DNA sequence: CGAGGAAGTCAACGCGTGTTGGCAAACAAT
DNA sequence: ATTGTTTGCCAACACGCGTTGACTTCCTCG
């Protein structure tokens, strides 16, 4: 007899609708990234995914639920204790650029965070849970970590803002190596230099 | 005969409705700054200004017209040729902080620019017409000015983003002198240091 | 085959939005 | 006092939104 993938009755390990669910998530990520929360309509997302708007509701309950499912961020920050002290800045900037360019979720979150209170809280959470710990691990003075992490975040998010959201031509035209060469030392100073 | 203020018939220099017009603009600026373009509704703005929504339309034609009238930005960038070469970075950061904290229009524009295409274009225009010229005036290599200006903008807008829009606690708690001390040298490097 | 449930479509609801035109009051000028 | 204009309110329109429930179609398993 022909053996199909799922073996258990109660919890089908893979559903027939998985393709549709994924299509919805893809379309949602794209719309949220390019238009923000309010302008990205469920109807438009459904159209992109070639299904009826009501399917989005069935699978993700509400627009908020869809956003929560579509936008989950893991910065995958590397273990900086392995990296030589003086190369930390460049390593971080390189990593950030790579993450941002391969992952439209980050742009979506930044766009939404700028107008939506829940989006802003989400970004605060990522900063607190993923960026701050790394800063604590690297920087010399433990009590100065929040300030140093905030400075690093301001420079990196500012680059993302001007380059991927506002799309200032001058920022878009910078190439990655150039960015690393300029921002690397800055981040390095913010993280490890003595208070100026 | 009694002479009233306006002397000419066709263009009354001051109208009786000026107070209302100003109240609308104030309310609009506040709403746009705190909620962005789409969430700031004409009805809410009218409620804040204690008038009927239809008055907003009569005076400003459309929501877009209201936004255009409410948000006009002059960065008032100082003449940097008067400032000693090595103090330019700190001077710029200080000026930016002052402008941003006294003027909610800038926050409004940043919020709107992140979700609204027209808002983004508006910010590009400000960058092109107000920031770029100053960079050209200051930095050593003429052809490097756009890149240098973009770097400066990324750092300054990133600070505004994390501090005034996303309100990261660590960024909000920084005090102004501290920010000047950290960002001043960064901006200085971006503007005048040799390509690294 | 036939039953049962999952996947998907369709039409509609209630709501809030930007926007419009008509009408009452307040003021200005003759 | 009477006219005309400005200032304002009110009620309504058309539209698009998120969301809902009933209905058809398709697959899968006895």
Of B149, B151, B174, the CB nearest to A150: B174
Residue A14 has what pLDDT? 66
Q: What share of chain A is helix, strand, coil (3-state, %, to 5)?
A: 75, 0, 25
pTM of the model: 0.92
Nearest residue, CA→C1' of C21:
B54
pLDDT range class, residue B14, cuts 50, 70, 90: low
Give A63's Cβ-side CA count (13 Å radius).
15
- Please check whether residue A15 touches B, CB under 8 A: no
pLDDT range class, residue A17, cuts 50, 70, 90: confident
CB contact under 8 A, A173 and B123: no
- Please check whether residue B186 touches A, CB under 8 A: yes
B10-23: average pLDDT: 78
- Please check whether residue A191 touches B, CB under 8 A: no
Nearest CA in chain A to B144: A170
CA atoms of B78 and B69, how far apart (whole Å): 25
Q: Is the dihedral of CA A177, A182, A185, A186 positive or negative?
A: negative
CA atoms of A35 and B117, how far apart (whole Å): 9
pLDDT at B11 exceeding the cut of 60: no
* Segment B29-59, tens digit of pLDDT: 999 999 999 999 999 999 999 999 999 999 9
Nearest residue, CA→C1' of D11:
B54
CA atoms of B151 and B139, how far apart (whole Å): 12
Residue A12 has what pLDDT? 57
Residue B81 has what pLDDT? 87
Nearest residue, CA→C1' of D29:
A9
pLDDT at A3 exceeding the cut of 60: no
**Residues of A in Cβ contact (< 8 Å) with B151:** 174, 182-183
pLDDT at B123 exceeding the cut of 60: yes
pLDDT range class, residue A15, cuts 50, 70, 90: confident
Candidate from A68-77, A127-136, B5-14, B53-62 with smallest mean pLDDT: B5-14
Query: CA nearest A55: which of A22, A20, A30?
Result: A20
Residues 54-93 of A with CB under 8 A from B: none
Residue B1 has what pLDDT? 33
pLDDT at A114 exceeding the cut of 90: yes
A132-149: average pLDDT: 94
Angle B125-B130-B136 from CA coordinates, rounded to 5°: 115
Find out whether B45 and B24 touch, Cβ atoms under 8 Å: yes
**Min Cα separation B55/chain A (Å):** 26
Find out whether A165 and A107 touch, Cβ atoms under 8 Å: yes
**Strand D reaches within 7 A of the B50 CB:** yes
CB atoms within 10 A of CB A2: 3
* Segment B170-180, tens digit of pLDDT: 999 999 999 99
Owner of token pair 């909610």? B104
* Segment B143-174, tens digit of pLDDT: 999 999 999 999 999 999 999 999 999 999 99
A50-56: average pLDDT: 98
- Output b/e per residue, B26-53; b: 16+ Cβ within 10 A: ebbbbbbbbbbbbbbebeebbeebebee
Residue B51 (CA) to nucleotide D3 (C1'), in angstroms, measures 28
């Amino acid at each position: 007899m022909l053996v199909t993938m799922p073996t258990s009755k109660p919890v089908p390990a893979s559903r027939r609708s998985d393709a549709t669910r994924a299509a919805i998530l893809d379309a949602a990520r794209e719309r949220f990234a390019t238009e923000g929360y309010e302008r990205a309509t469920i109807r438009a997302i459904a159209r992109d995914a070639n299904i009826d708007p009501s399917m989005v509701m069935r699978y993700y309950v509400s627009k908020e639920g869809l956003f929560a499912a579509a936008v989950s961020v893991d910065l995958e920050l590397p273990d900086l204790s392995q990296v030589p002290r003086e190369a930390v800045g460049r390593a971080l900037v390189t990593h950030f650029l790579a993450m941002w360019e391969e992952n439209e979720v980050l742009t979506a979150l930044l766009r939404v965070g700028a107008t939506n209170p829940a989006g802003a809280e989400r970004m605060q959470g990522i900063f607190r849970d993923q960026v701050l710990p790394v800063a604590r691990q690297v920087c010399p003075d433990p009590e100065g970590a929040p300030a140093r992490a905030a400075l690093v975040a301001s420079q990196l998010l500012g680059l993302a803002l001007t380059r991927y959201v506002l799309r200032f031509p001058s920022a878009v035209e910078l190439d990655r190596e150039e960015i690393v060469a300029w921002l690397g030392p800055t981040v390095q100073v913010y993280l490890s230099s003595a208070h100026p």
